Amino acid sequence: MYYGIATWNSFHIFNDIDSDDGAGREETTKEFLAACRITFIDFVHAFTSLTVFLVFALSNSNVQNCFFPKAGANEKALIMNLPLGAGFLASFLFMLFPTKRRGIGYADTAPVKKEGIIKESA
């Protein structure tokens, strides 16, 4: 598991402790990290997450009274049901377009095999 920043060209890692092990390992790592660069699906996830955040932030009654002080019955019904629709749409998009990326805080749940010994990640 690597932690780092994805860029247009590659993935720059923070925790590269095994970079001097050998040429074969280093080349495999470079190819793997080049495959982890930013893609279109990353923008889909970012835009969807931002949209859901804004919808839920605007669903606060104080914010609604500020931006929509004279909202009619139809507008209030739309504003009340918009978070449900946005959450459903975002869940549907995340299900259709999954990502392999994990943020900081996700644990590596797969056991790590090193030198013939399987160690559980903690």
pLDDT in tens, 38-53: 888 888 888 999 999 9
Given this model, what pLDDT does residue 20 score? 52
Given this model, what pLDDT does residue 24 score? 46
User: How far, in Å, are 41, 54, 62, 89 from residue 45 at the CA level?
Assistant: 6, 14, 28, 12
pLDDT in tens, 53-104: 999 998 888 888 888 888 888 988 888 899 999 999 999 998 988 877 776 6
Given this model, what pLDDT does residue 1 score? 65
pLDDT in tens, 15-31: 666 555 544 455 557 77
Domain assignments of the chain as residue spans, ordered by start: 1-38, 40-96
